[in-house]
């Protein structure tokens, strides 16, 4: 691939592992990436597990990862907030997810005013009218307050059936306040830009490797990165017939070193 990317972003599920099974050759590829000293992050939309848990999972698969190398919507939120004048955040997040934002100035859990940032994650069955309305009151009382969405997934398949994810709640708030949320999660441009800034590189210097042709490859390309699609995880042959044209298609992440070597 020419020019060779200066940095790499790896999607996790479907690229490095399938649920609890590592993908053949992933550990060897990452060992090669480290030997080549190519800066890289592991990029996922997961907000139900703290980054540390994902880091431990990678280590179990023989892939050492440093703190801060697992790039989640929460990590992006922390970085994004750190680049802005200090303000208080209101967190609508599960308890486990709050650990990744520990130390940030936050408003009390029952506050209805005083937030500069309102962060909406996956609260599942903890959502009710009072809680959603409190998010609305925080945003309404401060017209300058920013609404931050941790990803824009509409629904997911829960053990007891199809269930609302983050996006419908964010959409309700956008409708009520008449302004749009910033989304920190794939496929949002801001999410990729903040990841590039984390590596100290420009978006065009990065290659995103993913199994989701829209969220990983399409999202990356729209933000100015290149995107490589792997034929593992959720890949389907039809993915190559849509509007998104990957910059490269490889059988699996095991082929990455030969893709990047000079030819």
By CB under 5 A, name the binding residues for Mg ion. Answer: 11, 13-14, 211
Cβ 114 to Mg ion shortest distance, Å: 38
Smallest separation, CB 154 to Mg ion (Å): 17
Nearer to Mg ion, 22 or 114 (CB): 22
Q: Smaller CB distance to Mg ion: residue 122 or 211? A: 211
With respect to Mg ion, which residue has the nearer C-beta, 121 or 210? 210
Q: Coil, strand, or helix at residue 198? A: helix
Nearest distance in Å: CB 15, Mg ion: 6
Yes or no: say if 259 and 239 are a contact pair by the CB < 8 Å rule. Answer: no
DSSP letter assigned to residue 157: E
Q: How far apart are CB 203 and Mg ion at their closest, in Å?
A: 20
Q: In the chain, what are the helix, strand and coil shares in percent, each to the nearest 5? A: 40, 20, 40
Residue 131 in 3-state DSSP?
helix
Quick check: helix, strand or coil at residue 98? helix
- 116-140 burial, b at 16+ Cβ within 10 Å, e below that, comes to bbbbbbbbeeebeeeebebbbbbbb
Closer Cβ to Mg ion, 13 or 122, answer by number: 13
Shortest distance in whole angstroms from residue 126 CB to Mg ion? 26
Minimum CB distance to Mg ion, residue 19 (Å): 11
Using the minimum distance from each CB to Mg ion, give the nearer residue, 14 or 50: 14
CA separation for the pair 122, 46 (Å, rounded): 10
DSSP reduced 3-state for 172: helix
**In the complex, residue closest to Mg ion by CB:** 14
CB nearer to Mg ion: pick between 176 and 222: 222
Tokens 């059988």 appear where? 251
Type and span of the H or E element at 167: helix 167-177
CB 166 within 8 A of CB 174: no
């Amino acid at each position: 691939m020419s020019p060779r990317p200066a940095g790499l972003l790896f999607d996790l599920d479907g690229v490095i592992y399938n649920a609890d099974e590592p993908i053949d050759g992933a550990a060897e590829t990452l060992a090669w990436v480290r030997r080549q000293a190519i800066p890289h992050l592991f990029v996922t939309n997961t907000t139900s597990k703290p980054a540390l848990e994902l880091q431990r999972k990678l280590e179990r698969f023989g892939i050492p990862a440093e703190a801060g190398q697992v790039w989640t919507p929460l990590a992006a939120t922390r970085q994004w907030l750190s680049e802005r004048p200090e303000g208080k955040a209101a967190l609508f997040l599960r308890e486990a997810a709050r650990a990744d934002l520990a130390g940030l100035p936050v408003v009390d859990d029952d506050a209805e005013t005083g937030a500069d940032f309102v962060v909406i994650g996956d609260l599942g069955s903890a959502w009710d009218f009072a809680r959603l309305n409190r998010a609305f009151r925080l945003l309404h009382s401060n017209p300058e307050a920013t609404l931050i969405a941790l990803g824009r997934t509409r629904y997911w398949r829960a053990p007891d059936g199809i269930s609302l994810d983050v996006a419908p709640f964010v959409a309700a708030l956008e409708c009520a306040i008449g302004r749009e949320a910033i989304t920190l999660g794939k496929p949002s441009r801001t999410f990729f830009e903040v990841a590039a800034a984390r590596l100290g590189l420009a978006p065009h210097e990065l290659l995103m490797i993913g199994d989701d042709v829209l969220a990983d490859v399409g999202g990356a390309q729209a933000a100015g990165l290149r995107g490589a699609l792997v034929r593992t995880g959720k890949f389907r042959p039809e993915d190559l017939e849509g509007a998104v044209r990957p910059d490269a298609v490889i059988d699996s992440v095991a082929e990455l070193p030969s893709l990047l070597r000079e030819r």
